[in-house]
Amino acid sequence: MSKDNIETSKGIILAGGSGTRLNPITFASCKQLLPVYDKPMIYYPISTLMLAGIREIMIITTPHDMEQFQRLLGDGSQFGVHFEYRQQPSPDGLAQAFLIAEDWIDDSSCALALGDNLIFSDQLGGLLRKAAKQHEGATVFAYQVRDPERYGVVSFNDSGRALEIVEKPQDPKSNWAVTGLYFYDKNVTKLAKKVKPSARGELEITDLNQMYLDSELLHVERLGAGCAWLDAGTPDSLMQAGNFVQTIQSRQGMLVGSPEEVAFRMGYINETQLLKQVNKVKKTELGRMLSSLVKHQ
């Protein structure tokens, strides 16, 4: 990870919804606060945005769950970032996030990360920072899946140019799903206001992406076999995500989804600040792995 001077944008993590696919687990706890191995689920998209060089982050969640996120994350200073919080009274679609955060986004470019998505790759940092620095257009990431009908699906022509994005198609034209990570230029709020509710009554992020595509301003970055993308929104995928993180950390000794590690490597916090965080988890394997960062820097 580079500590180079990075031109920053803002980032939103959407951590709302009712988590019905995880009932009864989510009767008592917000989905994005559930553990993915040794960390709360929301740590993973936080780490992703931080790795992109984004340090101004808004967390949008339900009125019922906001206090829990604030208790867990505070103002973000422990990670060298700043968190803002907003309420999403009802889950009316992903594109609604840009309307909720309109005044905060102001005239900035803005990324959106879904609170239940995990993306991991050795090369991910460079791709994210490139996307975050864009002045015009949007960047989304596509990943091959065996059940594309569950996602927004992007199709390509023979030269690899994106042609169309369709939300949950019955007859998918490709197996490339759009992941829950999106980077937009400063026009995103203006365009989000033009999105009309879909048949299911939601402001679809796919419609927003199609607007950029129609204007030839959408870049689709295809993630290869060396990358892992996991949507931890079902019992099976939640377990798969936890097993994946446990395998990488125990076998390779590499931390996955640790805001403390990203903050230290990116130069957002110093050694003293890192050790203060280590002290909070000193009795855990996570604490041991974080402390080893100082020893091996």
Q: Tokens representing 177? A: 């799903």
156 falls within a domain: no
In the predicted structure, residue 222 carries a pLDDT above the cut 50? yes
Query: How many other CB atoms sit within 10 Å of the CB of residue 75?
Result: 12
262 in the Ramachandran plot: left (φ > 0), alpha (ψ -120 to 50) or beta? alpha
In the predicted structure, residue 2 carries a pLDDT above the cut 70? no
157 falls within a domain: no
In the predicted structure, residue 235 carries a pLDDT above the cut 60? yes
Averaged confidence pLDDT in the chain: 92
The Cα 281–Cα 84 span in angstroms is 24
For residue 8, what pLDDT band results from cuts at 50, 70 and 90?
low
152 falls within a domain: no
Residue 89 belongs to what domain range?
10-145+178-269
127 falls within a domain: yes
The Cα 162–Cα 170 span in angstroms is 19
What value does the mean pLDDT take over residues 193-208?
Answer: 92
Q: pTM of the predicted model, to two decimals?
A: 0.93
The Cα 175–Cα 155 span in angstroms is 8
Contact 132, 156 (CB under 8 A): no
160 falls within a domain: no
Number of domains in the chain: 1
What value does the mean pLDDT take over residues 24-31?
Answer: 88
In the predicted structure, residue 144 carries a pLDDT above the cut 60? yes
What value does the mean pLDDT take over residues 69-78?
Answer: 97
Of the spans 5-14, 148-157, 185-194, 195-204, which averages the highest pLDDT? Answer: 185-194
The two most distant CA atoms of the chain are separated, in Å, by: 55
The Cα 259–Cα 113 span in angstroms is 15
At a CB cut-off of 8 Å and minimum separation 6, what does 287 contact? 278, 279, 280, 281
162-173 pLDDT per residue, tens: 999 998 899 999
Q: What whole-number percentage of the chain has pLDDT above 90?
A: 77
In the predicted structure, residue 1 carries a pLDDT above the cut 50? no
50 falls within a domain: yes
CATH code for position 92:
3.90.550.10
What value does the mean pLDDT take over residues 8-24?
Answer: 86
What does the H/E/C string look like for 197-264?
CCCCCCCCHHHHHHHHHHCCCEEEEECCCCCEEEECCCHHHHHHHHHHHHHHHHHHCCCCCCHHHHHH
The Cα 239–Cα 228 span in angstroms is 15
241 falls within a domain: yes
284 falls within a domain: no
